[in-house]
Amino acid sequence: MSGFAAKTLSEWKQSHPLLLPLCATEALFWLNPLRKTGAEAMQGLPLGPEDVQDAAARLQRFAPLIAELFPETAEHSGIIESPLRRIEAYQHRLEGVYQTRLPGDLWLKCDNQLPISGSIKARGGIYEVLKYAEQVAVDAGLLQWDECYLKLASAPLRALFQQHQIVVGSTGNLGLSIGIMGAALGFQVTVHMSADARQWKKDLLRSKGVGVIEYAEDYSKAVEEGRKQAAEQKNSHFVDDENSADLFLGYSVAAERLKAQLDAAGVTVDAEHPLFVYLPCGVGGGPGGVAFGLKQQFGDHVHCFFAEPTHSPCMLLGMYTGLHDQICVQDLGIDNLTCADGLAVGRASGFVGRVMEPLLSGVYTVQDAELYRLLALLHQAEGIALEPSALAGVPGAVQQMNSASEYIQNNGLSGCAETITHLVWATGGSMVPADEWQRYYQQGTVLAEGQAE
Ligand SMILES: *Cc1c(COP(=O)(O)O)cnc(C)c1O
């Protein structure tokens, strides 16, 4: 016997005491003891800077086509990127709410505003569809690598893509990205949706001619079924959210773009001015890819943390036990039910967990009620509307904006508390229908008021 079954749950709890609060779905903060620094951190990784560069160059080749197919991207010449925003009013608001001073500068990476699909999935998901389209076109002898990619919107290529199918399993947002981009190029797309997926996402995809198959089970089941169906059909590509290096690399390109944005904003990242980044984590590909790119870009000067719902702490569980994808939250009796639908994943990607082992600073968990409350407060302070998943980064920043935090102390950073840049990665929200978002907001204001009294 191996994996979780090698020991009883009570033996696991004895050897890994953090499993007690984890099983009780308490919010907790885990620091990764396997993190390495210097050149050692990058040794033996299955991917390197040349892979990130290859992905960035591919997105550049596709930019004219993207600008043509999605006019909202024309302003940035077909480059799908989001704004970076200093959120000082929110920082002050949080000081009031948490009754503590929060030194350092708080920023928001607004992936909720990413064009085309309004979430971080517009990075990895769209990239993988483009890479597949390129491969199909080149294999058919209808595209040369150095040609203008506008050709991919022409009738002969559309006809070619119509004979190919793209399949994906999703809690919602990945399906949106793959479905919208796949359909725009002419592919047949089938999205296998978990029970968490919101109705409006399914409706939107169906309106674009995308096939949507619904499951009463969670994300792992939707992925498993999608994988099975794709394997049975020819000319079929399965976007494997649990294992795809392409998705991962699509996300990683964010790092060089962020570097340019920080430079433009006059924000330095060095030993005296570290960058702390807080990334909401589902299966791990999105936050993993971004963090991987950031470590390539900034090395030891960047500190990356993943955030998960207390009811879906799959990456924390996999990394803490070292079992990665050989354990799931349901093994511990945790229900994987959360309002953070983008993060409702019970079993993490083993591929991402292993890549992150030497790179990640830590993983923490957040209660649903906290997500709602932070959602309402952000809108009140800055006028920014996010979906619940996208707030998960905030509590991590609040905890690390404190020179007494264990992590800050362990890393000799207490002298830098005032000069740390804390960046919360806002992963989605702009496509949520107004009435649905109002319900989130109402929940959040009730909770925020309850707190203030
Ligand atoms: C998918 C998603 C994430 C996390 O990405 P993973 O690749 O699943 O870890 C975070 N936030 C939102 C809004 C998402 O849709």
- Gap between the Cα atoms of 285 and 289, Å rounded: 6
Q: Best mutation site among 117, 119, 194, 198 for ligand 1, i.e. most ligand atoms within 8 A of its Cβ?
A: 119
Q: What is the DSSP string of 74-100?
A: GGGTT-----EEE-HHHHHHHHHHHTS
Domain 3-50+67-117+248-452 adopts which CATH fold? Rossmann fold (3.40.50)
The residue length of the chain stands at 453
Q: How far is the CA of 52 from the centre of ligand 1 (A)?
A: 20
Q: What is the pLDDT along the chain (453 residues), one digit of tens a residue?
A: 678 999 999 999 999 999 999 999 999 999 999 999 999 999 999 999 999 999 999 999 999 999 999 999 999 999 999 999 999 999 999 999 999 999 999 999 999 999 999 999 999 999 999 999 999 999 999 999 889 999 999 999 999 999 999 999 999 999 999 999 999 999 999 999 999 899 999 999 999 999 999 999 999 999 999 999 999 999 999 999 999 999 999 999 999 999 999 999 999 999 999 999 999 999 999 999 999 999 999 999 999 999 999 999 999 999 999 999 999 999 999 999 999 999 999 999 999 999 999 999 999 999 999 999 999 999 999 999 999 999 999 999 999 999 899 999 999 999 999 999 999 999 999 999 999 999 999 999 998 887 654
- Give the residue among 379, 383, 389, 390 at the shortest CA–CA distance from 442: 379
Ligand 1 pocket at CB < 6 A: 119-121, 173, 280-287, 342-343, 387, 389-390, 427-428
Q: How far is the CA of 293 from the centre of ligand 1 (A)?
A: 16
Rounded to 10 deg, the angle between the 49-69 and 285-298 helix axes is 120
Tokens of 58: 């591919």
Which H helix or E strand runs over 309? strand 302-309
Contacts of 69 (CB under 8 A, 6+ apart): 153, 184, 185
Q: How far is the CA of 47 from the centre of ligand 1 (A)?
A: 21
Q: How far is the CA of 318 from the centre of ligand 1 (A)?
A: 17
Q: Best mutation site among 120, 177, 356 for ligand 1, i.e. most ligand atoms within 8 A of its Cβ?
A: 120
- Give the residue among 194, 197, 395, 404 at the shortest CA–CA distance from 306: 395
The C-alpha torsion from 90 through 258 and 248 to 235, rounded to 10°, is: 110
Question: Residues 333, 23: contact at Cβ < 8 Å?
Answer: yes
- Gap between the Cα atoms of 127 and 123, Å rounded: 6
CB atoms within 10 A of CB 221: 16
- Write the CA distances from 84 to 107, 121, 252, 261, 435, integer angstroms: 7, 17, 16, 7, 27
Q: Best mutation site among 389, 431, 436 for ligand 1, i.e. most ligand atoms within 8 A of its Cβ?
A: 389
Domain pair 3-50+67-117+248-452 / 120-244, same fold: yes
CATH 3.40.50.1100 fits 120-244, yes or no: yes
Domain borders along the chain are 3-50+67-117+248-452, 120-244
Per-residue confidence (pLDDT) for residue 403, from 0 to 100: 87
Q: Atom 12 (ligand 1): residue with closest C-alpha?
A: 342
Question: For the chain, how big is the Rg over CA atoms in Å?
Answer: 21
Q: How far is the CA of 102 from the centre of ligand 1 (A)?
A: 27
- Give the residue among 184, 188, 214, 210 at the shortest CA–CA distance from 199: 214
CB atoms within 10 A of CB 148: 11
